[in-house]
Amino acid sequence: MDGDKPADIAVVGAGIVGICAAACLAEAGHAVTVIDRTGICEETSSGNAAAFAFSDVLPLAQKGMIRNLPRWLLDPLGPLAIPPSYLPRLLPWLYRFWRAGHGGYEGALAAQASLMRLAEAEWTALMERSGTRSMLREDGSLELYESEAEFNASLPGWAARERHRIGFRHVAGVELAELQPGLSPRFTKGTFVPGWKTVSDPKDLAKAIWKYAEGKGATFIKGKVVEATSSGDGSSIRLEDGRALNPAILIVAAGAWSHLWTRRFGDAIPLETERGYNTTLPVDAFDVRRQLIFSGHGFVVTPLETGLRVGGAVELAGLDRPPNFARSKAMLEKARLFLPGLETQGGREWMGFRPSLPDSLPVIGRARSAAKVYYAFGHGHLGLTQAAATGRLIRDLVSGEAPAIDLSPFRPTRF
């Protein structure tokens, strides 16, 4: 930033990443306006699994996805689905995903681990500053395995986490039963991660962070952005209702829609959409002690203050297809088998769009051909986890400070 006067900044997107960016920028004295078509945290960020998954450092392509891909694609309601009609459009992304799974593993792992360490530190500090610390739950997570073979297949991933000083312990027998009473005996082993955290409800947390940002001077405009351009003097934004803004700096944090804007600034970024599904059951549906991760089936069960959330899976199907809630019903039926006695009535179904890049790393950085446009998107299923770190890094970039971590692995031009 030139001079001492704070920049006038517009953030497109009021999901958790955009909100955290606004909070960090407002704290630094910048005049920030957030624009969103629906409201504060009303779309994808509202229905996630509520995890601060700081130990989830493995690139998605490394988590057995390539090995399991053929088997999963034969099951339209399994952990990963691709509608046949969408497959031709998806092939370039899948090729990049395959390449990411066969090269650059250690670099991507190190980059993700670096971002996660920053994320944990930044969330701790932001929750203290915003008075939201009471929303944090530090119960750890329990990943579950149905066979010795499934457990053994997970060991290389745990070894990789251990190299990055992530704590965990493998459990079985009595200890497994104590960590989650009432679990089906089909699960013979588990891995407990004490440093895994969750929040009481992700939507409530986001709205509380926004209230804090408002207290620092951030403002919100409800409207759909239909045009955005940039010049040497700043940016120009036009809304669907005809309103116009001319901020000095523009932040694109529009989640799964972000690549539609980056093209206008010279960046063709291969962003796809991991459509995720869940069902939130009443609070008393089952006594779940901590987040349970059924990795072989691609979903988790999370106890929230507002209900018991059963969800996950990946459907690569773009932004336009209607939801297929048979997927959420399939996960709920599996959860009933895995947690005998789970009450599955009275749930609320939901579908959201996770912005996913083939190397599992977000885009954080400056646009190729627009010096005053910055990107903050592509976090996949880790948007909540990495939002505070991304907000800090965007503040660093806008303010002309050295970024807190090396941003080269996240640069928009890497594709």
pLDDT digits (tens, 9 = 90+) for 36-84: 999 999 998 899 999 999 999 998 876 556 666 676 677 777 788 888 8
Has residue 18 been placed in a domain? Answer: yes
On the question of pLDDT at 5 being above 50, the answer is no
On the question of pLDDT at 6 being above 60, the answer is no
Cα–Cα dist 214/387, whole Å: 17
HSE-up of residue 81 (Cα within 13 Å, Cβ side): 22
On the question of pLDDT at 149 being above 90, the answer is yes
Dig out the tokens for 311 from the structure.
């969800």
Cα–Cα dist 22/8, whole Å: 12
What is the number of H-type helices and E-type strands within the chain? 10, 21
| pLDDT at res. 244 | 93
DSSP states of 18-49 as a string? HHHHHHHHHHTT-EEEEEESS-TT-SGGGSS-
Average pLDDT on 191-214 reads 97
Parallel, antiparallel or unpaired: strands 307-316 and 80-81: parallel
The confidence band for 339, taking pLDDT boundaries of 50, 70 and 90, is: very high
| pLDDT at res. 415 | 87
Average pLDDT on 348-376 reads 95
On the question of pLDDT at 2 being above 50, the answer is no
| pLDDT at res. 3 | 39
Average pLDDT on 272-297 reads 96
Specify the number of domains making up the chain. Answer: 1
Q: What is the pLDDT of residues 368-401, one digit of tens each?
A: 989 899 999 999 999 999 999 999 999 999 999 9
Has residue 315 been placed in a domain? Answer: no
- Portion of the chain with pLDDT greater than 70, in percent: 95
| pLDDT at res. 267 | 94
What are the two backbone dihedrals, phi and then psi, of residue 106, each rounded to the nearest 5 degrees? -65, -35
Q: What is the pTM of this model?
A: 0.94
On the question of pLDDT at 354 being above 90, the answer is yes
Has residue 386 been placed in a domain? Answer: yes
Cα–Cα dist 309/303, whole Å: 6
Please, what's the b/e burial string for 374-401 (b: 16 or more CB within 10 A of its CB; e: otherwise)?
Answer: bbbbbbbbbbbbbbbbbbbbbbbbbeee
On the question of pLDDT at 4 being above 50, the answer is no
CATH for 255 = 3.50.50.60
Least confident of 104-108, 326-330, 371-375: 104-108
What residue numbers bound the domain in which 255 lies?
A: 1-59+101-136+199-270+357-415
| pLDDT at res. 72 | 67
| pLDDT at res. 7 | 58
Has residue 48 been placed in a domain? Answer: yes
Cα–Cα dist 245/235, whole Å: 8
Has residue 413 been placed in a domain? Answer: yes
Cα–Cα dist 303/334, whole Å: 17
The confidence band for 314, taking pLDDT boundaries of 50, 70 and 90, is: confident
| pLDDT at res. 348 | 96
Has residue 81 been placed in a domain? Answer: no
On the question of pLDDT at 221 being above 50, the answer is yes
Dig out the tokens for 312 from the structure.
């996950």
For the chain, give the mean pLDDT. Answer: 93
Has residue 115 been placed in a domain? Answer: yes
On the question of pLDDT at 210 being above 70, the answer is yes
In single-letter form, the type of residue at position 38 comes to T
| pLDDT at res. 313 | 84
Overall residue count recorded for the chain in this entry: 415
Task: Give which of 46, 56, 65, 198 is closest to 127, Cα–Cα.
Answer: 198
Alpha-carbon radius of gyration of the chain? 21
Has residue 405 been placed in a domain? Answer: yes
